[in-house]
């Protein structure tokens, strides 16, 4: 058939990613056929095999389209140094939850990664384990932020920052997972209160001086 111009080709690539996302969400990654995706996108499998080597690479590209921008968005926020490390960490945490809940693409991809794909296919497993490495790194940065907050007197020195980092990450992951599975509460709206609950726990018995209340 008609050969497309470069921009048109890029457009069909995006179309394929969009369509794959949609089909993966409906049928799950394992049962979603490349032909399912091709037909939904009104092309043939030839188009898919032109842009991607196989289903796993298509899946990986779909994930990257969410995780890479998100990483790029979070990185500067985490490295930013200032007088209110605890407030920054809290606001960033809330932002992540709200972004994941409100951005349709991020929301759907997270739902796919949580519920609609298994680690059976080794190439898919490698994508997931890369994501796990991300998490590991993320937890380290969380610990650094918490240490900074301790140093600034915003959290008690008795707090185990490593454990607290695990707790915070688990809390966010769990909230996202539960909300995606049931959607019976307003995650974006309640995120500040929810995050506050755990941060209150970090502060613990030993109440220390507080920064001015953040409006987030």
Partner DNA sequence: TTAGATACATACACGCATGTTTGTAAATCG
Partner DNA sequence: CGATTTACAAACATGCGTGTATGTATCTAA
Interface residue with DNA, options 50, 114, 115, 185 (CB under 7 A)? 50
For residues 78 and 92, the answer to whether their CB atoms sit within 8 Å is yes
Stretch that binds DNA, among 7-15, 81-89, 96-104, 111-119 (CB under 7 A): 7-15
In the bound state with its own copies, the residue whose beta carbon lies nearer, of 50 and 115, is 115
Q: Does the protein bind its own copies through residue 204 (CB under 8 A)?
A: yes
Min separation Cβ 186 and its own copies, Å: 10
Which partner, DNA, its own copies, none, binds residue 3 by CB below 5 to 8 Å per kind? DNA
Q: Which is nearer to its own copies, 11 or 204 (CB)?
A: 204
Among 83, 200, 212, 213, binds its own copies (CB under 8 A): 200
- What does the binding site for its own copies look like in residue numbers (CB under 8 A)? 27-32, 115-121, 128, 132, 135-136, 160, 162-164, 166-167, 169-175, 177-178, 181-182, 184-185, 190, 193-194, 196-205, 207
């Amino acid at each position: 058939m008609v050969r497309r111009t470069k921009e048109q080709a890029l457009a069909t690539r995006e179309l394929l990613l969009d369509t794959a996302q949609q089909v993966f969400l409906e049928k799950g990654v394992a049962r979603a056929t490349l032909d399912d995706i091709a037909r939904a996108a009104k092309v043939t499998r030839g188009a898919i095999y032109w842009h991607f080597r196989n289903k796993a690479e298509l899946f990986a590209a779909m994930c990257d389209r969410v995780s890479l921008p998100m990483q790029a968005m979070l990185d500067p926020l985490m490295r930013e140094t200032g007088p209110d490390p605890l407030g920054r960490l809290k606001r960033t945490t809330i932002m992540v939850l709200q972004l994941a809940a409100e951005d349709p693409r991020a929301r759907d991809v997270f739902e796919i990664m949580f519920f609609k794909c298994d680690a059976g296919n080794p190439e898919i497993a490698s994508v997931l384990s890369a994501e796990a490495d991300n998490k590991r790194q993320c937890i380290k940065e969380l610990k650094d932020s918490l240490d900074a907050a301790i140093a600034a007197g915003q959290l008690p020195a008795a707090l185990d920052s490593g454990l607290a980092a695990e707790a915070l990450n688990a809390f966010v992951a769990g909230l996202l997972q539960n909300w995606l599975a049931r959607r019976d509460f307003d995650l974006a709206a309640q995120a500040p209160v929810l995050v506050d609950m755990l941060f209150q726990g970090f502060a613990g018995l030993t109440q220390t001086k507080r920064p001015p209340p953040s409006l987030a």
